Amino acid sequence: MSTPKSSSPLAANPPSWLGVMGGGQLGRMFAQAAQSMGYQVAVLEPARDCPAGQVAQRLVQAGYSDAAGLDALAAQCVAVTTEFENVPADSLSRLGQQVFVAPDAHGVSVAQDRIAEKRFFVGCAAKSGVLPAPHKVISSETDIASVGDELLPGILKTVRMGYDGKGQVRVRSREELHAAFHAMGQVTCLLEKMLPLAYEVSVLTVRGADGQSVVYPIAENVHRDGILFTTTVPGPNITAECAAKAQAAARAIVAELGYVGVLCIEFFVLADGSLVVNEMAPRPHNSGHYTIDACVTSQFAQQVRAMARLPLGEVRQHSPAVMLNILGDIWFEGDSEQPREPAWDRILGLPGACLHLYGKDDPRRGRKMGHLTFIAATLEEAQDQLHAACLILGIAP
């Protein structure tokens, strides 16, 4: 277990500076939450025009491993966090020698490597009560030859850098496994057995530097083409028993990891009702965006609280919610390559509509441009409005 380095046991109160590694939309929403609480925000990001840099008080334009940039961020800020899991762990270690960093290099390094992640899940199964899917490391032709029949069909995943369905291939036979391994450049991969999946849930948990943790209501996710399509909370299919088991597992995992910050853990619920842990993201998560509009404390406000060593906020959900990812596809009608602005006026005329656009001026098919959350008195009402929004935006509901 690892404990983040703290430059001071005291809370970092506003108007202190808080830093974030990464300039994407998660950094943007973090910055907005921090600023609403009175903090100033510095972003380290190589790209000049980035969603987080548009709203932060300072942009340190530098690479994630740039020593001068990291030192500038540390000199400005009392605490630093990250908005994506692929920031180099060595960079977080360097920052951690100067300021409080949450999550720390250890937690991020486990989550960004699928082999380390699976080993961690197996190692803490006695405490969490859940296991990952059966799996095997594939790094050579010899490994492929020794794959047991029970692991096929399966999913071959690159060990690092895979997200939103990238770096993953379904394989039904040893021949397909061989072809996929070569197509991926023969980099080290992980083969996971395909299981009889009923649905996927994500559990958003937050742990403070004092060891206290909170867990949000269970979110049920639907994916299309490997990208999150909708999140519904409360999950309409999960039983109370399964939800309690998932939340208890999340608490055990975040504690065993010695983690400080927001951690999202994805679980598979199988056809027989059993629970399998899939993966974790050491940051706020797409499936947690509903918390901005439907919960007392958003996941981004919790990220601020954890890194500033403040008491964690209440996670109570005050309204049922459904969240829709907005991809760049809706800017294009049919096969046209000429973008046009979607009918936001009609969308905002729907009851309970909460629109969040990320400041990206280059819509591309498959690119996350924003999200839309509907809150209502009942889940059915929220789902009805989501269906209406899909019709307006030309999305198959």
Residue 127, marked binder = no
Distance CA 8, CA 5 (A): 9
Residue-wise DSSP of 36-65:
HTT-EEEEEES-SS-TTTTTSSEEEE--TT
Residue 290, marked binder = no
CB within 8 Å of 276: residues ≥ 6 apart: 130, 131, 132, 133, 195, 267, 268, 270
Residue 69, marked binder = no
Residue 29, marked binder = no
Tokens 């486990």 sit at which residue? 110
Residue 39, marked binder = no
Residue 358, marked binder = no
Q: In angstroms, how far is the first alpha carbon of the chain from the final one? A: 44
Residue 307, marked binder = no
Residue 318, marked binder = no
Residue 278, marked binder = yes
Residue 49: other Cβ atoms inside 10 A: 13
Residue 313, marked binder = no
Residue 337, marked binder = no
Tokens of 304: 């601020």
Q: How far is CA 185 from CA 81, 114, 192, 209, 296, in A?
A: 33, 17, 18, 41, 46
Q: Name the region of 378 (left: φ>0; alpha: ψ -120 to 50; beta: rest).
A: beta
H or E segment and range at residue 200: strand 197-207
Residue 223, marked binder = yes
Residue 83, marked binder = no
Residue 136, marked binder = no
Residue 118, marked binder = no
Tokens of 341: 């602005």
Detail the residues annotated as belonging to a binding site: 114, 157, 162-168, 192-195, 200, 223, 278-279
Detail the residues annotated as belonging to a binding site for ATP: 114, 157, 162-168, 192-195, 200, 223, 278-279
